[in-house]
Structure 1
């Protein structure tokens, strides 16, 4: 397929983590990128000017929960054949693009979360109409695809795109990783270490993790916890740890964007725990061989939960239940060195199987060839 000037991607923002996959798209498909300037919730952007194929920053104009991307609709009159857009019904300009594409015989492809499983009646109807207007749907998870199929959306037009981070860089780092005393140096003990990595927010329910640490301490089996991330909502989890008398077992590491450092932190931890939903944290942890524990209410999860294979790359606990969370943590902190190494290998295999930029590139290639 001749992809010269064929593919146009329009998205609400160039999230920092998507630079590697966008770069791969530019290399493989001569893709041109039109990226929004901001979203309602602050997200770290990459430097747009460093992306090959970058063409323009679009201004997102908000009307409550809805927004319009100025300059996006006129792109339908440029010589592109395929348009990848956010599968987000709240973007009003996307509706205009979809309708105009029908008139101009252009192909529109959603890159979308699709269904969550908690949509009410009105939202279900709106989403069904919105997705019906697309030529194809690239959906993050098989879970969402199954829900959408039940809603009557044809399976043949849906493709699982999964998600990725800087997978090539992370693979190179992981090949150099070895066990170290990074936690012993800080905590001055050999207790099992649990890691959380991500923004510290109320919806992440991190107090449940501290409750588990307090319960383990009462049993005479103390654990360490390292929180890697910025407190963006004044959660004050460190004060909660003091109140629970486990402050000496908690390391408030702060934000870190250095994958070599993060690789060491994940590789040497026993388990990564995200008591609220888990998103790219799961991919980050598994990329460096760390199993993941999160809750089992998938309607309130992010699509990356699918990288967790029960008992192999992680486990699920009953949402909001500290006792259930403690039981799942216990499964991972009690393993011996051989079992821990087996888990690392399974985590690497899962990332290499699906959660990387090369898998995503081949999915996009298939969509373009079949649409």
Structure 2
């Protein structure tokens, strides 16, 4: 096998990133050095199953900062490109970047970039840190625009987007068609709103219940399905009971079967995440479901950019339940023809950018100079 010239050193191997990592291993012969833990719980994939896996690094934490033990060794090998997390809290990354410059090698950041809520000190640190890299692969154009305003060279940045298991989701998508899963459960033909993800306080799910109450008062009936584990005793079902809409909600619980999830998204009228939306947006759009979330982008995850207002979803004013209701009314009233047009637009958005093959092409171009 051809010797790899690409080395990826990352803090952890999140479960959702296995498809893109494995594709990079297969298509670009990338080698991987992956950290063993973070300071919070995250589901990881089996590192040994990854094409190109070389070593698990031990992350040593000092408050928010950490050092990846053994991460400097690949620098003295045959690699030309080093793809890093673009995480200033990783002290060993600073050393790798500086040594790579001295050795004529290239450090590439795969990063969230700017959020838009950075304080003065963080802005200075980030600008200096990113200036040391040869290229910046940033999750969305929103962050790239903010970074350009901070004086970072636009030509140095490229949008890498984000992805789930694109190929698997495409296969599932091809098998989907309308079912009666919601009408059978709720015993009505009212449109169903879906929330999918962990049930956490930061997701502000009480807003969805309040919106349901307000819609009902206006004579608009709808259902809500909550798919996910209640990790923080949010007790959405108890709140729905207090508000008198418990018959209109379905506490589905956690589900990790994409075939089942694909159908739930496909048949839903809209996916709503009142807090930040994250990869739920990509998940929903992959199966043709439009997405609604709030409009304060500094407090959003990068995937909000897959939402094109009026086309693949919409935004409501941050923390404003009445505005959420206003937006919901637009989407809950879609007829079958409009819903099919939305599905098609959602598929087009995912196929154009938010998939592993788009990401592979970006990295191939960057490491082929």
TM-score (norm 2): 0.98
Shift of 1:194: 0.2
How far apart in 2 are the matches of 1:292 and 1:345?
14
Aligned to 1:119: 118
Unpaired runs of at least 5, structure 1? none
Residues 1-371 of structure 1: pairs in structure 2 closer than 5 A: 4-370=3-369
How far apart in 2 are the matches of 1:247 and 1:241?
5
Paired residue total: 369
Shift of 1:75: 1.9
TM-score (norm 1): 0.98
SS of 1:235's partner is coil
Give the direction of change, closer, same or farther, for the CA distance of 1:80–1:14 in structure 2 (3 Å limit).
same
How far apart in 1 are the matches of 2:248 and 2:95?
54
How far apart in 1 are the matches of 2:354 and 2:323?
28
| Aligned residues: CA RMSD | 1.1
Unpaired runs of at least 5, structure 2? none
How far apart in 2 are the matches of 1:203 and 1:94?
30
Deviation readout 1:188-216 (Å, 9 max, x if unpaired): 11111000111111111111011011112
Deviation readout 1:270-312 (Å, 9 max, x if unpaired): 0000001111000000000000000001111111111001100
SS of 2:253's partner is coil
Range moving further from structure 2, 228-237 or 282-291: 228-237
How far apart in 2 are the matches of 1:239 and 1:35?
41
Shift of 1:220: 2.9
Q: Is the contact made by 1:293 and 1:315 (CA closer than 8 Å) also made in structure 2?
A: yes
Deviation readout 1:232-283 (Å, 9 max, x if unpaired): 1221111111111111111111111111000100000000000011110000
How far apart in 1 are the matches of 2:87 and 2:198?
23
How far apart in 1 are the matches of 2:62 and 2:293?
34
SS of 2:89's partner is coil
SS of 1:55's partner is strand
How far apart in 1 are the matches of 2:312 and 2:288?
9
Q: Is the contact made by 1:145 and 1:160 (CA closer than 8 Å) also made in structure 2?
A: yes
How far apart in 1 are the matches of 2:78 and 2:98?
17
Shift of 1:218: 2.2
SS of 2:346's partner is helix
Where does structure 1 differ by over 4 angstroms across 4 or more consecutive aligned residues? Answer: none
Shift of 1:369: 2.2
Q: Is the contact made by 1:170 and 1:288 (CA closer than 8 Å) also made in structure 2?
A: yes
